[in-house]
Amino acid sequence: MKKRNRKLWRYLFGTLIVLFVVIQFIPVHKPKVIKDNPNDFLLNTKMPAHVASMFQESCYDCHSNQTKYPWYARIAPSSWLLASDVTEGRAHVNFSNWTKMSKAQQIAALSDIASEVKSGDMPFWAYPIMHPKARMSKADRKELVDWAQKYQNEIFYSK
Amino acid sequence: MKRLFVGFASLALIVALSAFTPAKTPKKENSQPGSSFSMPDSVKAIVDHSCFMCHNSNARGDAKDKLNFDELSSMKGPQLVANLANMAKMIKNDWMPPRKFLKDHPEMALTAQQKQVLLEWIKAENNKIFSEN
């Protein structure tokens, strides 16, 4: 009985390893990294420097073309997760395209920054676990939210 | 005694029935003083059919926190613009109605034509808001 059990575990473990190797060959579509983004949000707005650096650390991996892929982005299945997160994040808002967005889209993005950061829905809870620099204090959040709300009005009333 | 029982029973029935009839929300005028927000009938029909079920004040779930059609008409300025622009994003990306939801309610899916009607309305509303401020 014991012997059979050990055999079973060995089969299971072997299968897992084979599976792990096999899934490495499944093509993953990871969004491309583009370094030079003249239409970028932070380049074209006057966000206070310390808020801006925090914003970049906390948001730009998924919401810009300047994704910094970690080492585990090369290994399945984590690569799948990252690829889908970045794809979805950029589809929601890509801050690299800021000046190409309409006024209405910019206002919507700023309003989303304010509400998502205020509620704590963003950054997505799992993200700061792997990215300690993306942990925002209450004061940090408030500063970002206040700025986003102010700037949203500025854009609305600008001619 | 019997009459008393019948009385109580019918009272209970009335209470139960009224609990199950949907609460009436006061019908809002299409345009309100102070804001020129308007929703033509063609748009309203689509919204009522495909969106309103989750995005209203009495709906269960948290969809109404993201967008509430009962509150939209009283919104103004940047808040209204943001709501409209996000609506357009959801429609363009086919994120709404959610795919999961459509499995049980396939008839609520937006057709290409319905999407166009909504998107054109959103664009016109946003332009109007900007030109008025």
Q: At B59, is the pLDDT very low, low, confident or very high (cuts 50, 70, 90)?
A: confident
User: Phi and psi of B35, rounded to 5°?
Assistant: -140, 145
How is residue B84 written in tokens?
A: 């409209």
Strand partners of residue B35: B32
How is residue A134 written in tokens?
A: 């993306």
Question: What pLDDT sits at residue B7?
Answer: 60
Q: Do A111 and B133 touch (CB under 8 A)?
A: no
Chain B partners within 8 Å of A157 (Cβ): 133
CB-based contact (8 Å) between A150 and chain B? no
Question: What pLDDT sits at residue B31?
Answer: 42
Question: What pLDDT sits at residue B92?
Answer: 92
Mean per-residue pLDDT, B84-109:
92
Decide if pLDDT at B128 tops 90. no
Decide if pLDDT at B48 tops 50. yes
Cα of A48 to nearest chain B Cα, Å: 22
Q: Compute CA distances A74 → A27, A112, A139, B123, whole Å.
A: 11, 31, 35, 41
The pLDDT tens digits of the residues spanning A15-39 come to: 999 999 999 999 999 999 999 999 9
Question: What pLDDT sits at residue B19?
Answer: 55
Q: At B28, is the pLDDT very low, low, confident or very high (cuts 50, 70, 90)?
A: very low
The HSE-up count of residue A158 (CA atoms within 13 Å, CB side) is: 10
Tell me which residue in B78, B89, B126 faces A152 most closely, judged by beta carbons: B78
Question: What pLDDT sits at residue B77?
Answer: 87
Report the alpha-carbon distance of residue A40 to residue A20 in Å, rounded.
38
Strand partners of residue A56: none
Packing angle of the helix pair B112-132, B77-92 (nearest 10 deg) = 160
Cα of B63 to nearest chain A Cα, Å: 14
Radius of gyration of chain B from Cα atoms? 20
Q: At B5, is the pLDDT very low, low, confident or very high (cuts 50, 70, 90)?
A: low
3-state helix, strand, coil in chain A (%, to 5): 70, 0, 30
Decide if pLDDT at B30 tops 50. no
Question: What pLDDT sits at residue B116?
Answer: 93
Chain A partners within 8 Å of B77 (Cβ): 153, 156
Interface list for A 82-101 with B (CB within 8 A): 91-92
Question: What pLDDT sits at residue B106?
Answer: 92
Residue B29 Rama label (left phi>0; alpha psi -120 to 50; beta): beta
Report the alpha-carbon distance of residue B55 to residue B70 in Å, rounded.
8
> Low-confidence residues of chain A, pLDDT below 70?
1-2
Question: What pLDDT sits at residue B32?
Answer: 42
Question: What pLDDT sits at residue A79?
Answer: 94
User: In whole numbers, what is the pLDDT of chain B averaged over residues?
Assistant: 79
- Lowest average pLDDT, out of A80-94, B13-27, B34-48, goes to B13-27
